[in-house]
Chain A
C-alpha cells in the first residue's frame, strides 16, 4: 500500500516537539498547586501525539484553573466566567479540524456555568474537557463552590457549608448522550496522563474531573488520600486504565471495571469513602453534534460576511425612511 504524495511530504517533514515547545507564559499558580500537574500531563500528551501547536485551541472560563491557556503556546481563549463551553462549541463548529480543549474550574463549570455544562454533555461535541476541581473558588480567595464538602469553612460559609456537595461525575453520567466520563487526581501523574490521553482520543465530549489540590486555601483537605493509597480506588480494564507494576504496587486498592457498563459506573461514582480513579464510562457510538449539524463545507469569506450581516441586521434599529432596510429585507 502506498500513500498520497502530499501525505508523504507531510510525514517527511514531521516535526518533533519537546515539552518546551508547548510552554506559553510562566505559570502564576501558587507553588504546589495541582494545576501544574495537569499542565504537564497535557503538554506531555501534545508532545507524544506530535500535535502541532497551531492545530490546538484551549478554551477556559475564569478562575485560577482557567488561566491554563496562557501557559500553552497554542491558540487559546480565556473566556468569561462559566461560558467556556459555548465558546468552545462555537470554535469546534466553525473549525472541526482543530483539537479543542476546555479547562474549567468547579465554580466555573458546576456553579455559574452549570446550564452550559449540561447541554454541552448532551451535544457531545468532540471536546476534551478538564474540570480542575479544587472544591473551592481559588481565584477569588476561598469561597465555597458546589463541590465543597458539607461543613467546609470558607469566606462564604464561615460556619461550614450547609449542603451536600454536588458530584460532577454522577451529574455527567446522568445526562443524555454522556459519552466519556473519567476521574483523575493530580497526584498520580502517570494515571492522570493515561486518562487525559484516552479522553483526547475519544471522539465526543470527553469529561475528565481532575481532583486538584489547592495548597493555598485547602492545604489539609486531601492529605488523608495523599497519605493513604488505599483510599484511592483504581479502576482498571483492558479498555480503560492499565497500571504499571510500580503503580500497582503502591495503589493496591484496584477494581476491574468495564467502561461500557454505565450502571456500574454510576454506582462507583457515588462511592464516598474512596476516590475512584479511572475511566468510568465510554461509549464511542454516540454521534457528535458537529457531525449532525455541520455542513462540512468550506465557508468562503462572502458567505461568512453575508451570515454576519444578516445576524447584525436583525438587531439594527433602522431609521424610518431607511432605504438600507428595504435593501436588506
Chain B
C-alpha cells in the first residue's frame, strides 16, 4: 500500500467495560440514538474504510486509469491503459538491464506527471499531453531530459484522447467502442454491397456486350483502345459479328429487377459511403444512430423501417441474381409479399446499431418500461444505463434503503427477456471488461450496459475510481455478464466471475496496521456494503465512533455479525474499521437499520450466486440426494456380497451337490443351430465387393446389363441372368482389384463349364 502515512491505532488504553457502556452501545445499535458521551457522532468527519487507507493519492499508483481512446484501432484494441502504452514504449526504447534503467525511471516519472495532469483536468490527445508532461519535467531535469522524453513520445504506438475515471467514463468509453464496432460493420456492409453491385453490373455489362448494342461499330471501337483504332474497319466488324449476335438481350423483367436492386443498393443512407468509391453514392446524409432516450430511438427505427425492408429485399434479390438462382416462378411471389415480417435478427444486424445513453437517475418507471420494451423488441439497439448514485435514498423516505435497487431491477427484468446481452459493472472495472463490452456491442441482438460511474456521490470524499471500485468490492453494485450467444443455458450465459472473490459473501483482504506499541498487526477483514456506506456522509447518523477505551468483546465485525442467526445475536453489536484523514484507525458501530439493509444486500448477492452456479441450492440438494442414493446402493451391494459369501460357504461345504442349470442357457436347440448354419453357409451366387470397386469400366464393358454402377459409380450385379458364367469369370480376371467373385455357374448347361470353374477358383 502506498500513498498515505502508515496506519496506526488510536493510542488509548483499553479500559474496563462498565455495564453502562455496553448498554449505550446496544441502545445505539437498536435505536440509532446516542446516549452517553462515549458514542461519538461521525457527522462532519471524513472517514473511509481502513482497507482504503493506502489509496490516498491515485496519481502515484500505476493502475488502469487514465485510459487512451485509441483512434482507428486495427485489432479491436479500442482502449489502452496509459500504463500499458508506457510499458510498450519502454520495451522498445529502453535497453534491458542497468543501461536502460535511467531512461526507464525518467519515463515512469513522466507517466506519473501525466497522471497528475489528467487528474487536475487536463484534456487532449496522448501525444500532446506527453509533450506537456515532458516540458514540465524539464523544469527540474533540464533540456536534455525534455529532449529524451519527447523522443520517447515519438515512439508511441497509438494515439487518442486521454480520459480519467470521471463521471463521463461510461458514456465516452461505450460510445467509443460502439463507434469502433460500427466502423467494422460499415466495412463488412460495404464489402457485401459492393460485391453485389459488382455482380449485378457485370450481368448488365455482359448482356450489353452480347447484345446488338454491344456489336455496334462505336461499341466495338471503344473496346479496342486508342493506338490501333485506325487499323480496323469497325463497320465491317460490326456486320460480321452482328450475324451471330443473339436476338435476346436480358428479358425485360430481369433487367428491371436488376436495375431496381442496383438503385436501392446505391441509394442507402444507413452507413456513410466508403471514401473514394465509385460504386456507392449516398443521395442524402446518412442517418443518426445515437440517441438519449429509448422513445426517440423507437420513433427513428419506425420511420426508417420501410427503407430497411426495401434494402434487405434488394440485397436478397441481388444475391440470388448474382448466383444465377433467381427463379421467377418461385421468387416473384415471395418478393411481392416481402415485408417487415421476413426480417431476421441477422438481417437487422447488418445495419448500424442504435446507441442510447441514459442516466439511471432519470429512469422513472415510465422510462424503465420503454427501456424494457426497446430491449424486448429485437431492435439492433445497445442501451447504456449509467448509474450515478448507488446509495440514493428510497422514495419511501428516510429510514428505507433502496441501495442499487433501480439498476438491479432493470437488469433482472431484462435478463428475463432471454435474448438480451447484459453487462453490469462499475467504471473502475470497465477497462478490464473491455472485451465483454465489445462482445455485447458485436452481439447480433439488443444489449444493455448497466454501469456505475462512481462519480456524483456528493457526500463522499473518494474519487470516482475508488467509489466505483468500492461499490463492486462491497457487492453494492455487482458485476455480471449475461451473454445469450454463449450457449443455451444459464451456466454458459451468466457469469459473476468478474467480481472479487465471487465464492464468498464478502471479499476478504489483509489489513495491516501498527498497534499502540508500534508493532505490526495483520488481520483478515471483510469488505462489506457497510464499508462502502461509511464513505457517504448521508448515512453518518447510522454510525457511532467508539473510543479505543470502550472497545469490548461484544463488538464484532459486520460480516461476522451478519453470519449469526438473528436469535443468537444477543448483546453483540457490529462494527467497521475506518481511518481518518491521518490514517488513524477507529471502530464505528452500526445501527440495526443499516444492518438490515446490509443483510438484504447479502441476500440479493446470494440470489445472484445461485444464478451463477455458486452455492446453488438446487445443485446442492441434488448432490445430497444423489449422495444418499449412492450410499444406500453401496450399502445394499455390501449386504448382498455378505449374503453371497455366506451362501458360498454353505455350497462349498456340500460336496457333490447337483449342478444348477438355467433354462435356455444350455446347448442351442435345433432351431437355433439351423439358423446359425444358414448365416454362415456361403452362397453359390456370384458377388462383388462393391465398396472396393475402383470404377475402372472393365466389367461394365464386358456386359453392361449384368454389371452396372450404383449411385457411387461402383459396380454391382444388376441382373445375374443377363449374362453367362463365362462373362463373369472374364470380368473377375480383368478386375484389377479382384473384387468380383464368380460363385458357381447358375446354368449347368453352359458350355465349357469345367474349364471356367477352374479359372474361377482364384477369385472365390
A residues contacting B by CB (< 8 A) are: 1-6, 8-10, 13, 18-19, 27, 31-34, 36-37, 39-40, 43-44, 54, 186-190, 213, 215, 226-227, 244, 246, 250, 296-302, 309, 316, 322, 324, 327
Question: Does B628 sit within 8 A of A, measured CB to CB?
Answer: no
For residue B325, CB closer than 8 A to chain A, the reply is yes
Q: A36-B694, A189-B691 are in contact. Are A9 and B320 (CB under 8 A)?
A: yes
Instruction: State whether A37 and B711 are in contact (beta carbons under 8 Å apart), knowing that A5-B316, A327-B226 are contacts in the complex.
Output: no
Q: Provided the pairs A13-B325, A301-B205 are in contact, do residues A40 and B695 lie with their beta carbons within 8 angstroms?
A: yes
- The contact sample of 26 A-B pairs, CB cut-off 8 A, is A2-B346, A4-B347, A5-B312, A6-B315, A9-B334, A19-B712, A31-B734, A32-B734, A34-B694, A36-B694, A36-B696, A37-B694, A37-B695, A44-B713, A189-B695, A190-B691, A190-B692, A226-B737, A227-B738, A244-B691, A300-B278, A300-B279, A302-B278, A309-B225, A324-B227, A327-B226
B192 to chain A, nearest CB (A): 10
Structural contact, A5 and B714, CB atoms closer than 8 A: no
Given contacts A298-B195, A301-B202, A301-B205, contact A34 B696 (CB under 8 A): yes
Q: For chain B, which range describes its interface: under 10, 10 to 19, 20 to 34, or 35 or more residues?
A: 35 or more
Contact partner, A9, options B227, B331, B694, B698, Cβ 8 Å: B331
Q: Chain A: which residue is nearest B312 at the CB level?
A: A5
Q: Which residues of A contact B346 (CB under 8 A)?
A: 2-4
Q: Mark B330-371, 1 if CB is under 8 A from A, else 0.
A: 110010000000111111001000000000000000000000
Q: Which residues of A contact B323 (CB under 8 A)?
A: 10
CB distance from B203 to the nearest CB of A (A): 12
B344 and A3 within 8 A (CB) = yes
- Contact between A31 and B696, CB atoms less than 8 A apart: yes
**What chain B residues lie within 8 Å of A227 (beta carbons)?**
738
Q: Measured between C-beta atoms, what is the minimum distance from A94 to chain B in Å? A: 13
* Chain A proximity mask over B282-323: 1 for CB below 8 Å, otherwise 0: 000000000000000000000000000000100110011001
B201 contacts the other chain (CB 8 A): yes
Decide if A31 touches B701 in the complex (CB within 8 Å).
yes
> What's the Cα separation between A27 and B698 when bound, in Å?
13
Do A5 and B344 touch across chains, with their CB atoms under 8 A apart? yes
Interface residue? B617 (CB, 8 A): no
Cα of A4 to Cα of B694 in the assembled complex, Å: 42
In the complex, what residue of chain A is closest to B190 when comparing beta carbons? A297
Complex alpha-carbon distance, A187 and B325, angstroms:
38
Q: Is B182 an interface residue (CB 8 A)?
A: no
Chain A residues with Cβ under 8 A from B205's Cβ?
301
A37-B695, A40-B712, A300-B279 known; 17 new pairs, CB 8 Å cut-off, are A2-B344, A2-B346, A4-B344, A5-B312, A5-B342, A6-B316, A8-B344, A9-B331, A19-B713, A31-B734, A33-B696, A43-B713, A189-B694, A189-B714, A215-B736, A299-B198, A324-B227
The reply on B191 being an interface residue by CB < 8 A is yes
Determine whether the beta carbon of B194 is less than 8 Å from that of A298: yes
Complex Cα spacing A72 to B320, Å: 24
The answer to whether B696 touches A32 (Cβ under 8 A) is yes
Closest partner residue, chain B, to A43 (CB atom):
B713
Q: Is B693 an interface residue (CB 8 A)?
A: yes
Please give, as numbers and ranges, the residues of chain A lying within 8 Å of B697 by CB-CB distance.
27, 31-32, 36
In the complex, what's the smallest C-beta–C-beta distance from B623 to chain A, in angstroms? 33
Shortest Cβ distance from B199 into A: residue: A298
When the two chains form their complex, are residues B344 and A246 in contact, meaning their CB atoms are under 8 A apart? Answer: no
Q: Kindly provide the distance from the CB of B760 to the nearest chain A CB, expressed in whole angstroms.
A: 17
B656 is an interface residue with CB less than 8 A from chain A: no
Contact among A27, A32, A40 for B736, CB-based, below 8 A: A32
Chain A residue numbers with a CB within 8 Å of B347 are: 4-5
B666 within 8 A of A: no
Bound-state Cα–Cα, A5 to B319, Å: 11
Q: Are B320 and A246 in contact (CB under 8 A)?
A: no
Using A4-B350, A13-B330, A31-B698 as known contacts, say yes or no to A298 and B198 having CB atoms under 8 A apart.
Answer: yes
In the bound assembly, the distance between CA atoms of A37 and B202 in angstroms comes to: 38
For A226, the chain B residues whose CB sits under 8 A away are 736-738
Chain B proximity of A103: nearest CB distance (Å)? 16
What are the interface flags for B168-188 relative to A under an 8 Å C-beta threshold, 1 for contact and 0 otherwise?
000000000000000000000
Looking at the complex, which one of B202, B225, B701, B714 makes contact with A40 (CB distance below 8 Å)?
A: B714
**Residue of chain B at shortest CB distance from A39:** B695
Bound: A179/B323 CA distance, A: 31
* Minimum CB–CB distance for A11 against chain B, Å: 11
B-side residues, CB < 8 A to A, are 191, 194-195, 197-198, 201-202, 205, 225-227, 278-279, 312, 315-316, 319-320, 323-325, 327, 330-331, 334, 342-347, 350, 691-698, 701, 711-714, 734, 736-738
State the 8 A-B residue pairs at the shortest beta-carbon distance, nearest first. Answer: A298-B198, A37-B694, A2-B344, A40-B695, A6-B316, A4-B346, A40-B713, A32-B696
Bound form: Cα–Cα A313–B343 in Å: 50
Among A6, A31, A54, A327, find the residue whose CB has the most chain B CB atoms closer than 10 A: A6
Nearest opposing residue in chain B for A313, CB measure: B227
When distances are taken between beta carbons in the complex, the residues of chain B under 8 Å from A302 are 278
Which residues of B have CB within 8 Å of A246? 691
Contact call A2/B693, Cβ cutoff below 8 A? no
* Docked complex Cα distance between A80 and B143 (Å): 70
- A50: min CB distance to chain B, Å: 13
- Could you tell me the distance between the alpha carbons of A312 and B350 in the complex, rounded to whole angstroms? 41
Pairwise interchain contact A10-B736, C-beta atoms closer than 8 A: no
Q: Are B694 and A186 in contact (CB under 8 A)?
A: yes
Q: Which residues from B are CB-within-8-Å of A9?
A: 316, 319-320, 331, 334
Pick the contact of B692: A3, A8, A188 (CB < 8 A).
A188
A34 to B737, CA, bound (A): 11
Q: Tell me the nearest residue of chain B to A7, going by C-beta.
A: B346
Q: Which residue of A lies closest to B313 (CB)?
A: A5
With contact pairs A36-B695, A213-B736, A215-B736 given, residues A300 and B324 touching in the complex (Cβ less than 8 Å): no
Complex: how many Å from CA A324 to CA B230? 13
**B342 CB contacts on chain A under 8 angstroms:** 5
Instruction: Kindly provide the distance from the CB of B234 to the nearest chain A CB, expressed in whole angstroms.
Output: 18
Residue of A nearest to B694 (CB): A37
CB distance from B647 to the nearest CB of A (A): 43
Contact between B316 and A187 (Cβ–Cβ < 8 Å)? Answer: no
User: Are the CB atoms of B713 and A324 closer together than 8 Å?
Assistant: no
Chain A proximity of B386: nearest CB distance (Å): 30
Contact B696 A2 (CB under 8 A): no
Q: How far is the CA of A155 from the CA of B202 in the complex (A)?
A: 51
Give every chain B residue within 8 A of A296 (Cβ-Cβ): 191
Chain B residues lying within 8 Å of A44, measured Cβ to Cβ, are: 712-713
Residues of B within 8 A of A36 (CB): 694-697
> With a CB–CB cut-off of 8 A, which chain A residues contact B694?
34, 36-37, 40, 186-187, 189
Q: Which of B195, B345, B694, B736 has the most CB of A within 10 A?
A: B694
Whole-angstrom distance between the alpha carbons of A84 and B694 in the complex?
26
* Residues of chain B lying within 8 A (CB to CB) of residue A54: 324
Measured in the bound complex, the distance between the Cα atoms of B227 and A2 in whole Å is 56
With A32-B698, A40-B695, A299-B198 as known contacts, state yes or no: A10 contacts B713, CB within 8 Å.
no
- Docked Cα-Cα span, A19 to B712, in Å, equals 7
Q: Taking CB as reference atom, which chain A residue is nearest B350?
A: A4
Distance (whole angstroms) from the CB of A297 to the closest CB of chain B: 7
**Which of A13, A296, A299, A322 has the most CB atoms of chain B within a 10 A radius of its CB?**
A13
Residues of A within 8 A of B693 (CB): 189
Q: How far is the CA of A37 from the CA of B686 in the complex (A)?
A: 23
B279 / chain A contacts, CB cutoff of 8 Å = 298, 300
Q: How far is the CB of A71 from chain B (nearest CB, A)?
A: 12
Q: Which residues of A contact B695 (CB under 8 A)?
A: 36-37, 39-40, 189
- State in angstroms the CA–CA spacing of A18 and B712 once bound together: 9
CA distance A309 to B225 in the complex (A): 9
Max chain B C-beta neighbours (<10 A), residue from A187, A227, A296: A187
Which B residues touch A324, using CB under 8 A?
A: 226-227
> CB-CB < 8 A to B701: which residues of A?
31
Q: Are B737's CB and A300's CB within 8 A?
A: no
A297 to B330, CA, bound (A): 32
Give chain B nearest CB distance to A34 CB in angstroms: 7
When chains A and B are docked, how far (Å) is the Cα of A188 from the Cα of B693?
8
From residue B337, how far is it (CB to closest CB) to chain A in Å?
Answer: 12
